[in-house]
Amino acid sequence: MLMHLSTWPEVEQFIARSRTIVVPIGSNEQHGPTGLLGTDWLCPEIIALEAERTADILVAPTFNIGMAQHHLAFAGTISLRPSTFIAAIGDWIRSLTGHGFEKILFLNGHGGNIASIEAAFSEVYADASFAKRRAGYALKLCNWWDLPGVGELAREQFPSGHGAHATPSEIAITQWALPHARKSAHYAPQIAPSGPIREALEFRARYPDGRVGSDPGQATPEKGEALVKLAAQSLAQELDAFSLEPVPA
């Protein structure tokens, strides 16, 4: 069930049978010469939508702008400051828990979001802790590439040149789901350099085409399909297990 295509009575009916929801979250940022700017929010959304096709889950609207300040030297990147991002996540959580959701799983597609999402969770839990009461809900962060079996499959598909940004695995997922948006380019060097990630101008000087340690030319729609199918199955299982975790009253 997709929240943005549902009515409020339909969401109320879902809450009556399940208090768990998945929120795809990512970033709108450069992904090298062939990666779509929306790659990091598209991947978790694609996986969640695939899981929803066969499982009784509720998928929230995608949180598609993240903490991508280190990519701002590339046209098209849109970023929130960490503090803004943390505050926005907190308001999403407070809105959803106010409706009765008790388990919120954020399916993340951008490594740069991780620290800020975890900080947002701490901020929200602090609401209860400082008031000396139980929160009554549980929050979970899950990166799509960390879903059971997915990382292993990606390493098998791309034993070299996977890298850390504009990876062939994420490019393959968008190629499968959005074949009309597939891009091509000549990579030089074939495998991009690797190194630290700091601020925007240094990032562009160190990684001039936007890639970090990756060779996206290895991506194929077939490999993307295999990744999505496995990730969707693993996500449904993760949501089932999360739903069964007790939440102290």
Residues of the chain with pLDDT > 70, as a percent, come to 99
Element (H, E) at 186: none
Residue 226: both structure tokens together: 């295999």
Beta strands in 88-166 (DSSP E): 103-108, 138-143
Lateral strand order in the sheet of 103-108: 20-25, 103-108, 138-143
Residue in this structure with the two tokens 């098998």, named with its chain if needed? 156
pLDDT recorded at residue 248: 67
Q: What pTM was estimated for this model as a whole?
A: 0.97
Residues 181-201: pLDDT tens digits?
Answer: 999 999 999 999 999 999 999
Whether residue 223 is predicted with pLDDT greater than 90 in this model: the reply is yes
Residues 139-181: pLDDT tens digits?
Answer: 999 999 999 999 999 999 999 999 999 999 999 999 999 999 9
pLDDT recorded at residue 131: 87
Residues with Cβ < 8 Å from 152, sequence gap 6 or more? none
Topology given in CATH for the domain delimited by 3-157+228-244: Rossmann fold (3.40.50)
Gyration radius of the chain's alpha carbons: 18
The three-class DSSP label of residue 140 is strand
What's the distance, Cα to Cα, between the start and end of the chain in Å? 27
Residues 116-143: pLDDT tens digits?
Answer: 999 999 999 999 999 899 899 999 999 9
Residues 92-117: pLDDT tens digits?
Answer: 999 999 999 999 999 999 999 999 99
Residues 30-54: pLDDT tens digits?
Answer: 999 999 999 999 999 999 999 999 9
Contact 193/207 with Cβ under 8 angstroms? yes
Residue 224: both structure tokens together: 């993307």
Residues with Cβ < 8 Å from 78, sequence gap 6 or more? 28, 29, 65, 68
pLDDT recorded at residue 26: 98
Residues with Cβ < 8 Å from 158, sequence gap 6 or more? 167, 168, 169, 215, 218, 223
* CA triple 171-172-177, angle to 5 deg: 100
Contact 118/141 with Cβ under 8 angstroms? yes
Residue 176: both structure tokens together: 């499968």
Element (H, E) at 21: strand 20-25
